[in-house]
Amino acid sequence: MKQLFTLLLTTVFALGLQAQVSLTEAPDFTVTDIHGESHNLYSLLDQGKYVMIDLYAYWCGPCCATAPDIKQNYIDFGCNTADLFVIGLEADGTLAQTEDFEVNCGVEGGYPVASGLDGGGSDAVDAFGPAAFPTIILIAPDRKIVEQDIWPYSTSGTEAILNGYGIEKAECAVVSNVTETEFFGQLEVSPNPFTNEIRIAFELQESAEVTIEVANLLGQSLFIVQAGDLS
């Protein structure tokens, strides 16, 4: 019995070293993240993006420990506005449980995540069939799963892997959120998101003190323009 027990442990350990996802081509999926945004895998790949997916569960301790490093790579590589798109697919939690994971694990406001039960994450996770959580995979624009399990996960190690596929770091492009008031008539903001330049055009229905604040995707203020009293 002792010999059998040792053999079983060795077998399990060996299996743990194998790729956690056995697929070589990614199945398509459409999910809705916790902020109500819809994401379709093949549409992202057709834009020429690499897609890195965190397959995880809200109750998983290692998933919580790994999530901040994934978020840092998400930030370092352009907050989903450049060549890399990062998304989390939760396996079996509700919207509330997935939101709690975000807060408790320190990744609130980072890469989009879809809950298992309310966002379609469960079906998407099942389609990939991971053997353990978390399983972080990388999909190339041709729909091939080029990294079946990035583990152990680290920000620097993943950066090296991404660089190996020609994916370079990028600044987070800026999305302008314009708070409209009763003073605004027609309002135009383009392009949105933007990287270097943005055009903001608006009409005022009456004189008003105007302040323009531009923030990045993480909600960090980049600059504030006090336009003064305009009419």
| pLDDT one-digit tens code per residue, 76-112 | 999 999 999 999 999 999 999 999 999 999 999 999 9
For residues 113 and 63, membership in a common domain is answered with yes
Residue (of 85, 70, 112, 75) closest to 216 by Cα position = 75
For residues 206 and 139, membership in a common domain is answered with no
Average pLDDT along the chain, 231 residues, taken 10 residues at a time: 33 42 95 98 98 99 98 98 98 98 96 98 98 98 98 98 98 66 62 62 73 66 69 64
Number of structural domains the chain divides into: 2
For residues 25 and 132, membership in a common domain is answered with yes
Domain membership flag for residue 48 = yes
Distance CA 26, CA 13 (A): 26
For residues 142 and 202, membership in a common domain is answered with no
Specify the pTM.
0.74
For residues 155 and 196, membership in a common domain is answered with no
pLDDT at site 184: 59
Q: What is the largest CA-CA distance in the chain?
A: 87
pLDDT at site 113: 98
Domain membership flag for residue 15 = no
For residues 97 and 156, membership in a common domain is answered with yes
Contact between 139 and 51 under an 8 Å Cβ cutoff? The reply is yes
For residues 189 and 116, membership in a common domain is answered with no
Domain membership flag for residue 217 = yes
For residues 216 and 109, membership in a common domain is answered with no
For residues 191 and 158, membership in a common domain is answered with no
For residues 98 and 202, membership in a common domain is answered with no
Residue (of 74, 69, 205, 195) closest to 134 by Cα position = 69
pLDDT at site 108: 95
DSSP assignment of the chain equals: -HHHHHHHHHHHHHHHTS-S---SBPPP-EEE-TTS-EEEHHHHHHTT-EEEEEEE-TT-HHHHHHHHHHHHHHHHBTTTSSSEEEEEEESS--HHHHHHHHHHTT-TTSS-EE-TTTSSHHHHHHHH--SSS-EEEEE-TTSBEEES---S--HHHHHHHHHHTT---BPPPB-------TTEEEEEEESSSBSS--EEEEEESS-EEEEEEEEBTTS-EEEEEEEEEE-
pLDDT at site 230: 67
